Amino acid sequence: MDPFSRRGALGAAGGLLAAKTALAQAPAPAGTPNAPAIPSNRRILGPQNEARQAQNPDVLNPPSTDQGPMPNLRFAYADSHRRLETGGWTREITIRELPISASMAGVNMRLDAGGIRELHWHKEAEWAIMLGGSARITAVDEKGRWFVDDVQEGDLWYFPSGIPHSIQGLQPEGCEFLLVFDNGSFSEDSTFMLTDWLKHVPKSVLAKNFRQPESAFGNLPKEHLYIFNGPVPGALQADIPKEVEKVPESFSHRMLQQKPLFEGPGGWVRVTDSSHFPASKSIAAAMVELQPGALRELHWHPNADEWQYYIAGQGRMGVVGAEQHARTFDFRAGDVGYVPYAMGHYIENTGTEPLRFLEMFKSDHYADISLNQWMAVTPHELVQAHLHLPDGALAALAKDKVPVTQG
């Protein structure tokens, strides 16, 4: 078991970022070796947000390898509006905040102990990872089969499109989690909620439907509840329906109990897609941890855009598109990144602590192509005609994929 650091994960997801004080006039920050010092005649003379600039050194003073225009591929949850409710809070990053993110959207949510995300459903599938605390999740499928489970840090859940479900924080501290939806236009405000539906149905119809007197519905909420306080659930066993069939594929999964797909001196990679978590049919994920100085190798994904969430640490990502376009972006815990389909990229830990992040894809399976492996298995004479490397360099390349390398 390799659990999250509770303090690190919750602090990161809560957006408690310590701003560094660095001047824009300073030479290139550490971790930006290709960027020259800013000449004195190009220094910023007008107003500056120095703390913000210090968090984005590769934007302020780009590496010399950056070229041409590239859409913004980064947005911070710290810049996202937080909706406060009686039982918790929520904030989201959708195509509204990050316009390039057409295929996926993310919601960061916190529930108090007993706090309930009310019974609801939506058109989009919902993938989630617990960042801290614990929660009880429930669902019912189209055949009336039940699902109830308690999830902890590092656990996942997945609810298919249209499946009704709920989430409730448990003792002692409630929970915080990240939700990922397979549509960049998704918004938490557009979900179908139980209380919202019932308030728009005549009581006479409710009485017929539920075979109750109309008076039974006299105290329905006048507004939908969304996130509200409720009694803290008791033992899990008490919430399991009797004489009702369970869903055939579990809607939850213990990601951190999986053996890493790759593990080495520079870090590890865990992949969870439909081959590991059968219910998760439209979203695949990888969790990556890089040690200081380590690199998520040069690669690209042949099947989908990549939506990222940074859990801990700090790093930078270089992305290369077609037509000689390249940009470098800096990330910290609580940030979201995005890589358009098939664009080559790398991620490097530029901090002093481990960098941990999620790679998410709108796909039933995870796939990546390693630049190193491609060059290693392609006829060397052909590659050498392109690159003119020193003698023996191509023969030294690994034919097996090495997703994480330590320089």
Catalytic residue among 245, 353, 359, 381: 359
At 175 the three-state DSSP class reads strand
Residue 172 preceded by cis peptide, ω within 30:
yes
Distance CA 262, CA 265 (A): 10
Q: What is the radius of gyration, based on Cα positions, of the chain?
A: 24
Distance CA 318, CA 389 (A): 22
Tokens standing for residue 182: 């397979």
Burial class (CB in 10 A: 0-12, 13-18, 19+), 41: exposed
Burial class (CB in 10 A: 0-12, 13-18, 19+), 126: buried
Tokens standing for residue 345: 């990229």
Cα atoms in the 13 Å half-sphere on the side-chain side of 276: 21
Instruction: Note whether 360 and 93 are within 8 A (CB).
Output: no
- Please choose, from the candidates 340, 342, 290, the residue with its C-alpha nearest in 3D space to the C-alpha of residue 316: 290
Instruction: Note whether 346 and 293 are within 8 A (CB).
Output: no
At 1 the three-state DSSP class reads coil
Task: For CA atoms 395, 396, 397, 401, give the dihedral sign.
Answer: positive
> What does the DSSP assignment read for 279-319?
T--S-EEEEEEE-TTEEEEEEE-SSS-EEEEEEESEEEEEE
Q: Is 126 labeled as catalytic in the residue annotation?
A: no
How many Cβ atoms are within 10 Å of 205's Cβ, its own excluded? 12
How many Cβ atoms are within 10 Å of 176's Cβ, its own excluded? 22
- Please choose, from the candidates 347, 361, 273, 345, the residue with its C-alpha nearest in 3D space to the C-alpha of residue 313: 347
Distance CA 182, CA 128 (A): 12
**What is the distance of C-alpha 14 from the center of its chain?**
14
Kindly list the catalytic residues.
359
